[in-house]
Amino acid sequence: MSEKFDCIVVGAGPAGISCAHELAKGGAKVLLLERGEYPGSKNVMGGVLYRKMMEDIVPEFYKEAPLERPVVEQRFMMMDKESAVTFGYKGMEWAKEPYNNFTVLRAKFDQWFASKAVEQGAVLVNETVVLECIVEDGKVVGVKTDRPNGEVYADVVVLADGVNSLLAQSLGFHKEYQPDEVALATMEVLKLDKKIIEDRFNLEENQGCTIELFGDATKGILGTGFLYTNKDSLSIGVGTLLSGLIKHKIKPYELLEYVKNHPMIRPYIQGSESQEYLAHLIPEGGFKSMGRIVGNGVIVIGDASQLVNAIHREGSNLAMTSGRYAAETILLAKQAGDFSENMLDTYRMRLMSGFVGQDMQKYKDSTHHFNKFPQYFDEYIPMLNKAASQMFTVDGMSKWEKQKKIWSDLGSGKEKMKLARDMYRAWKVIK
């Protein structure tokens, strides 16, 4: 720990491992610090890994990585208390190499991914907490850890320490995030026989399905639930804004139990056995909550820089791309012998000009909008379910009469105008 490195990466999640892997592959001397017992021990995500961004780092990784199932179907449930309007897409092109995405268990996958970085030459040190950045003359030159004589130095420090990045905050890069900028996700892994999973989800062997849950799954609070198929287990979870949990006085584990017992979900998980329970904070503030991500001798990546696309439920792919861009920038800086903010700003420019920055800007108003107008979840989704029930119930009433009743149930002319206005506003923030 007393030697100097080209780079210290704090946090062995998807972003940090990606950065360390690419740095080591490029010949840099890199130290990867992880506070958990091993990479993945403290990391939680819904469980979907996108192939393209991972393959940019480890080509054909899917031939050896500990993946669960390639996803061939993505479903979406707009849920009321005893019903759901369901739609989605299933494509057999996703069942063939190189695939589209996979379900994963982070405890397994992150350990494997970190081992690939170590193979490239990165030094991985687990069970190490970084207490603060060492700053000299306005430049970050290293970190102080909780180990004896735990000061370690580097030309660049990369902060990949998650949404609650106290290190970035201590440097003045961002303010303390508010409850409406952070979501709390709770997830449970449920053991279930492989054949039962395939029968219940209409899958063939080695095929996976994801189901995203909206509306009653979060009791009308802004957020989503999910149910993903693994090899011989299911990942079920729910994530909502902290502000919503506080306002409605709901405990996260209560919301997860509610989802598990929902009549639309209960048949999928019947007979399963709980294996693991996890909870994790997720950045939801989006583009407007992003603080500084570059300074003299320091770069911020992944969740620590609020890189999550809440509308499309994407995070790990943005994190891995940010880690790769950071590594490529540091290698350029190493070649030039310049680790100033001006030089490292190449990372920010690449990030913002690529798909990560473009998607972050595209949906910059989405979380704020849907949080400000909760009727999308607690009024309009139940309204959609009621209309579907009326239309598809065969009771001797003509379809013309049913359409008139559905139209009447939308309320007065003023209420219909409000609905139309809200739909237009929603289209504006996600178009």
pLDDT surpasses 70 at 1: no
pLDDT surpasses 90 at 315: no
- Judge contact between 131 and 146, C-beta under 8 A: yes
The label of the residue with tokens 């009791």 reads: 219
pLDDT of amino acid 107: 87
Centroid of chain to Cα 34: 19
Q: Which of 136, 137, 117, 135 is nearest to 126 (CA)?
A: 117
121-143 pLDDT tens trace: 999 999 999 999 999 999 999 99
Query: Quick one: pLDDT band at residue 224, thresholds 50, 70, 90?
Result: very high
Neighbours of 304 (CB within 10 A): 32
**Calpha distance 112→31 (Å, rounded):** 17
Which region holds residue 34: left if phi is over 0, alpha if psi is between -120 and 50, else beta? beta
pLDDT surpasses 90 at 280: no
Beta-bridge mates of residue 70: 102
Residue 256 token pair: 């997860």
**Calpha distance 286→284 (Å, rounded):** 5
Q: Measured between alpha carbons, how far is residue 296 from residues 19, 118, 139, 150, 366 in Å?
A: 18, 27, 5, 22, 32
Greatest Cα pair distance in the chain: 82
pLDDT of amino acid 41: 81
Query: Quick one: pLDDT band at residue 43, thresholds 50, 70, 90?
Result: low
Reduced to 3 states (helix: H, G, I; strand: E, B; else coil), residue 184 is strand
Mean pLDDT of 335-340: 97
Centroid of chain to Cα 315: 3
pLDDT of amino acid 3: 78
Q: Which of 312, 186, 182, 184 is nearest to 237 (CA)?
A: 186
Query: Quick one: pLDDT band at residue 286, thresholds 50, 70, 90?
Result: confident
**Calpha distance 359→362 (Å, rounded):** 5
Provide CB contacts within 8 A for 155, sequence distance 6+.
Answer: 5, 6, 7, 297, 330, 333, 334, 339
Task: Show the CA angle centred on residue 373, arms to residues 368 and 378, nearest 5°.
Answer: 125
**Calpha distance 160→22 (Å, rounded):** 15
**Calpha distance 275→278 (Å, rounded):** 10
pLDDT surpasses 60 at 46: no
E strands, 253-366, in order: 273-283, 294-295, 298-300
